[in-house]
Amino acid sequence: MFKNKLTILRIIIAAIVGLLLFCYFILFIPAVQNKVAQTIAKKFSTTIGTEVKIGRVGFTLFNKLDMEDVLILDQHKDTLLYSKSFKLRLTDLFFSDSVPTIRYLGLVGAKVYLHRSTVKWNYDYILDKFKGDSTKKDSTNFDIKKIDLSDIHFIMDDEWIGEKMELKANNLLANINSIIGGRILIDQVVANKPYYLIQAKKGLRPKALEPKIIKRNKNELYFNPGHLVIKAKDIQIIKGKFWIEYEFNKPLPYFDGEHIRMTDLNAHIKNASFIEDTIKAEIQASVKERSGFEIKKLITSFRMTPEIMELDKLNLITNKSSIGNYYAMQYKDFTNDFKNYVTKVIMKAHFSNASISSDDVAYFAPELGTLKQKINTSFHFSGTVADFEATELVARYNNSFVRGSFSMRGIPDMRNTQISFSNVMAKTNYGDLMNWLPALGKIKNFPFEGLGDLNFKGDFKGTLYN
């Protein structure tokens, strides 16, 4: 009797195990997996109230998920998210006591379109559906090792405020050492043909609804309110583009602070860090700007905060100039001040044995474009393009030299720009002087050539024309 009961029990256990194994293995059949995916997509679509589609699916129960043709529409039937391919590789969650680890996350042909023309974004309806208790803290931790994004296109179009951000890339690859809470350590990032756009435009938000500008407290973080710590050993940018646009008017033929368009951006960045509100990195880069201005080589220790962008230990080679060893730009608001670069951004520089071509300066002040001259100089510089002072100035040009303190106020209106030169010691001759002041050639019946060297000691105030 007992043996019969034991036999029946064994049969029942074997049947249950067999049924579980059958269910497990049947899930590996592609048709079954796709049916499960369609059911999940339909359920999710019903939950959020818009269309959700998934093409093909392949997965294992513990560590693998592949999806194709994933589509989520917003409430206006526009594409919110689409991905041609999605691949996820995990640690075996059910057989590991450690923090869940995403070993690989891959997206191919991903397109994300975030948009708003009112207070609400086109994705807010999804957040509203899954909004939980905000008083409960989410203690979920995870780690991630590799992110591989190919043919991506991300748009964040904020018509309400008046700003559009866009990111494209042929490929973005990140190898990550660890993510522990807010501490992210990255081994390498490679960006192949990235394109990043910041487009400012007129917003739809009424002035009455604009928030009051609150002055930032001295110790309040501007870039990093979450106190993240991000470090990256190696970052490479290959043939990138970076554009900053204000409105949609036609750019000026020279450097236009409202239309900064940088192309052929190649960079190798080492030991980058983002701690508190400070970004630091060792940078080697080259880039071309729409105006024709080109940075052929840039080597520097870079630092950026909400108030300053600093290039220390600087070695800069442009179209026809070479500059070193310190340059910084100071500002109160990065976006707004760079829009009015000539008058708002304060430059600080310490140049030693620099070679500066008037052709390069002419990209920013085109009135100097006819000079076609180059000087060797050392000085300390402070001020904006429109209003600056150079102290401890030593400049040499052919057989001429000048020492003193020099300031200009009024650029780019060169005819009315006020020039001040104090404590001057200078030596020149008619030939060198003519290259800088061609108007002298209009003076007739005066033997300039016979004057030989001209020496000056004292001060000068006036314009280029008096």
pLDDT at 339: 74
Closest alpha carbon to 80 in 115, 113, 108, 38 = 113
Residues 234-288: tens digit of each pLDDT? 999 999 999 999 888 999 989 998 899 999 999 999 999 999 889 999 999 999 9
User: Contact, 158 vs 205, CB < 8 A?
Assistant: no
Reduced to 3 states (helix: H, G, I; strand: E, B; else coil), residue 413 is: coil
pLDDT at 173: 96
Amino acid at 337: D
Ranges of residues in the chain whose predicted pLDDT is under 70: 1-37, 59-62, 92-99, 132-141, 213-219, 439-442, 444-451, 466
Give, for 246, the enclosing helix (H) or strand (E): strand 229-246
What is the token pair recorded at 26? 């049947």
Residues 73-98: tens digit of each pLDDT? 988 889 999 999 999 888 765 555 56
Tell me the three-class secondary structure of 66-103, residue by residue: EEEEEEEECCCCCEEEEEEEEEEEECCHHHCCCCCEEE
Q: What are phi and psi of 276, to 5 degrees?
A: 55, -120
What is the Cα–Cα distance from 456 to 47, expressed in whole angstroms? 83
Strand partners, 175: 146, 188
Which sign does the torsion angle of CA 77, 105, 164, 286 carry? negative
- Beta-carbon contacts of 237 under 8 Å, excluding residues fewer than 6 positions away, are 191, 194, 265, 266, 267, 269, 285
Length of the chain counted residue by residue: 466
